[in-house]
Structure 1
Amino acid sequence: MNYVLPFFSLSMFTIVGVLLILSTGSEASIGVNYGTLANNLPPPQQVAEFLLHSTVINRIRLFDTDPQILQAFANTGIAVTVTVPNDQIPHLTNLSSAKQWISDHIQPHFPSTNIIRILVGNEVISTADHLLIRTLIPAMQSLHTALVSASLHRRIQISTPHSLGTLTNSTPPSSAKFRRGYDAQVLKPLLSFLRSTSSPFVVNPYPFFGYSIETLDFALFRPNPGLFDQHTKLLYTNMLDAQLDSVYSAMDKLGFSDVEIVIGEIGWPSEGDIDQIGVDVDTAAEFNKNLIARVDSGTGTPLMPNRTFETYIFALFNENLKSGPTSERNFGIFRSDLTPIYDIGILRPTFRSSDPVYNPRSPVRGSSSKRWCVTKAGAETVALQRNIDYVCGLGLDCRPINEGGLCYLPNTVKAHSKYAMNLYYQTMEKHEFDCDFDNTGEITTIDPSYGNCEYQAN
């Protein structure tokens, strides 16, 4: 995120703002940017468990490749996007360096950590650094070749985020195009690379940094007069739709309307400087709630109808070490104790706001004599999958962990294995060896049930 970057105007509406993967379909996934410029954040392992068990968030974006965080998300199934810092880009044009980078930062964690994408730099074009711009695409190509060498290119995408300052003439959205000097020389070969590798185009826009008093309702998805595009005869009722269609129009003019769009960050701060209008907890909650509702609606945009949007909200936590205005440090949706700053509907029903970390329903239900079989921390995914195959292969009732079942979510090997192992343990004589599973299981007195997912206990 860089609030000082140039924006493009859309008549009286300045367009800026979301990580989204645009795709056809009916279900959107909620992701979050996990920034770490703070000195009061909880340990990564605690964050991973919280996201997995207490929220519906199923993907995160990191701004580096912090090994502690990557390890914390191992065996959770949560999709992870990592980032190559800008200053490393020139170095990675060398293939041997790119292979070493993949070997050092990706392979030690994959596939136990579900790394799905590598972002090379952040808003490189907007830096106006000619060395970075010149080496950006060669570095992306080298990293992709390194992934091919490691047989990871079908599992991990390569892309790079851009600010919407790369656009011009975006009033109305149908007239948007990329800035001269960058369109043919940089963005066309970049889009060609993305198409050839089935990777998305990533943008980092922010309605917050482009709104005015007059356009606040337009930015917040509130009722407003809207913006009418005379060329397409389409009406835009919110800033997000106009942003996305402006990006789409610019890509279409270069012949790349088929490349998926990923929007890197979107959010609204809950606190700002005293002279800022529309910066408070209620407005931040309103914006993110309306954003999720819009994304989940499946209506898409005027130029891209019937699309759902995989959305990465900025950000997971407030970051008290960031510089700049007050708002820069207050984009978080959770406090450092993992309680929500405001509720936007992403918490699971079992989460209790008084609890900093998810705590399954334990002694409240049943007596202390009850026992459950669960997975041991650190158990390998391959071993846990064997447990599922074994238990369900015996003909025991595994329907709750099948798609659509009450215990299907979270859809991870660890969660499904825990249910299956307990099912076997309860069905057998409940001896300790019935929960051994080659040393991947352990007995607990804490009920692992959650929501409508009931773990059997005889």
Structure 2
Amino acid sequence: MTVIKKLFLFLFSPASVTVQAFTGTYGINYGRIANNILSPDDVVTLLRAAKIKNVRIYDFDHSVLKAFSGTGLELVVGLPNENLRDVSANADHAMNWVKDNVLAYLPDTHIRGIAIGNEVLGTSDEFSGFLLGAVKNVYNALDKLKLSHLVQITTAHSQAVFADSFPPSSCVFNDNVVQYMKPLLEFFSQIGSPFCLNAYPFLAYMNNKDQIDINYALFLPTKGADDPKTKLHYDNLLDAQIDAAYAALEDAGYGKMEVIVTETGWASHGDENEAAATANNARTYNYNLRKRLAKMKGTPLRPKSVLKVYVFAIFNENLKPGPTSERNFGLFKPDGSISYDIGFHGFKSSSADSSLLSLKEIRASSWSGSYSIILTMATALLLVL
């Protein structure tokens, strides 16, 4: 182990750091189910120009981990669903996975979280029985490596885990997930992990057009909705979806657990039966979401818990299966130009090379600063030993 890495583990020991995978309020998902998108190096340049610091990926691709090295961007890596069985069954495999895909890239790549699976519960039981075991084995590996207070463990849930989500106060977990959800929540409460929710007003509106005002889904002026039990008023659908999750957690006995939105977005293009999937609606949703998050406030039920959201996604992904909308959630087109204007500039496709900042210059500046800090701390540490 290098001197720098030993120093890193000493400085970021459990006694000195409380784990927090998400700093700030605005993050983004970096999906890569496409064959025409920018390289990871160019994505780093794009994100830094947009001043987006929090990033989630759905796997542990080493080209991405290397590209993020020395950038200061904070990354959540994913353990895909298909890996859950193996990691759940074998603690040594979990340890090797953590060593190869997390420890090997610290501290230069700021890996702040590991998402164990994605939307495992609620739709199919194919991986449900392996989720908790995988969570525990990965956490125990982190703990043995003295990383459990630096790297947070989570898993993201779709709204399929809920029943009766309107009004928000009536929401509870579906009967078919309770046997898996309860022990998972118990473990997460012990290690201080949040409840991660993929919440899409777009999908809720598409499935209930007759009952939901599209302005309510788009953060536009509307009469809103009232919860008769709590007497709380909701002026947008996302807040109601989040408070429904809080209500389900309260019912399950975990009302103090934080809810973080790990995916939300709006499609800019869709099939004939997806009339709401337009560039104008996507721009409206994402622009108003940024304004909502900039206010640094919580939801009606949890007003003091500042909302944290990862937007879906950086790119339109041309190889995603399903309806056309699935391939059109990107804030940026594959070449890095903007899909619509919400305040980000992006790359100009006609002159991409001339518009890019020098990645080497960015990295040199970032690494120089980080290295100086580490060197100073190392020198101070040696003086007192």
Tell me the TM-score normalised to structure 1 length.
0.71
- Residue 163, structure 1, aligned to residue 163, structure 2: no
Matches of 2:333 and 2:108 in 1, distance apart? Answer: 28
Contact 1:28 1:295 in 2 (8 A): no
Task: Give the CA deviation at 1:171.
Answer: 2.4
Matches of 1:63 and 1:310 in 2, distance apart? Answer: 18
Contact 2:119 2:156 in 1 (8 A): yes
Q: Tell me the residue number matched to 2:57.
A: 62
- Residue 207, structure 1, aligned to residue 201, structure 2: yes
Q: Tell me the residue number matched to 2:10.
A: none
Matches of 2:33 and 2:77 in 1, distance apart? Answer: 16
Contact 1:57 1:346 in 2 (8 A): no
1:231 pairs with one of 229, 235, 244: 229
Instruction: Provide the identity percentage.
Output: 37
Q: List structure 1 runs of 4+ shifted beyond 6 angstroms.
A: 351-354, 387-390
Unaligned runs of 5+ in 2: 1-19, 379-385
Task: Give the CA deviation at 1:347.
Answer: 4.6
Task: Give the CA deviation at 1:179.
Answer: 1.2
Q: Tell me the residue number matched to 2:189.
A: 195
2:247 pairs with one of 239, 246, 249: 249
Contact 1:32 1:315 in 2 (8 A): yes
Note closer, same or farther for the CA distance 1:381–1:109 as it changes in structure 2 (3 Å cut): farther
Task: Give the CA deviation at 1:169.
Answer: 2.0
Higher CA-based Rg: 1
99-108 or 294-303, which moves further after superposition? Answer: 294-303
Contact 1:22 1:307 in 2 (8 A): no
Instruction: Name the structure where helix makes up a greater proportion of residues.
Output: 2
Contact 1:22 1:261 in 2 (8 A): no
Q: Tell me the residue number matched to 1:314.
A: 312
Task: Give the CA deviation at 1:178.
Answer: 0.7
SS at match of 1:148: helix
Matches of 2:60 and 2:365 in 1, distance apart? Answer: 23
1:345 pairs with one of 329, 335, 343: 343
Task: Give the CA deviation at 1:22.
Answer: 12
Contact 1:28 1:296 in 2 (8 A): no
Amino acid in the other structure paired with 2:271: D
Amino acid in the other structure paired with 2:156: P
Tell me the TM-score normalised to structure 2 length.
0.84
Q: Tell me the residue number matched to 1:271.
A: 269
Task: Give the CA deviation at 1:36.
Answer: 0.7
Note closer, same or farther for the CA distance 1:59–1:155 as it changes in structure 2 (3 Å cut): same
SS at match of 2:286: helix
Deviations 1:247-267 (A, max 9, x none): 000101122121121221111
Task: Give the CA deviation at 1:333.
Answer: 0.8
Matches of 2:95 and 2:143 in 1, distance apart? Answer: 10
Matches of 1:374 and 1:312 in 2, distance apart? Answer: 24
Deviations 1:79-101 (A, max 9, x none): 11111111111111221111011
2:217 pairs with one of 216, 219, 222: 219
Contact 2:119 2:157 in 1 (8 A): yes
- Equivalent residues, number: 351
Q: Tell me the residue number matched to 2:115.
A: 119
C-alpha RMSD of matched pairs (Å):
2.7
Task: Give the CA deviation at 1:62.
Answer: 0.3
Matches of 1:22 and 1:334 in 2, distance apart? Answer: 24
Amino acid in the other structure paired with 2:192: S
Unaligned runs of 5+ in 1: 1-20, 362-372, 391-458
SS at match of 2:303: coil
SS at match of 2:260: strand
Matches of 1:253 and 1:171 in 2, distance apart? Answer: 15
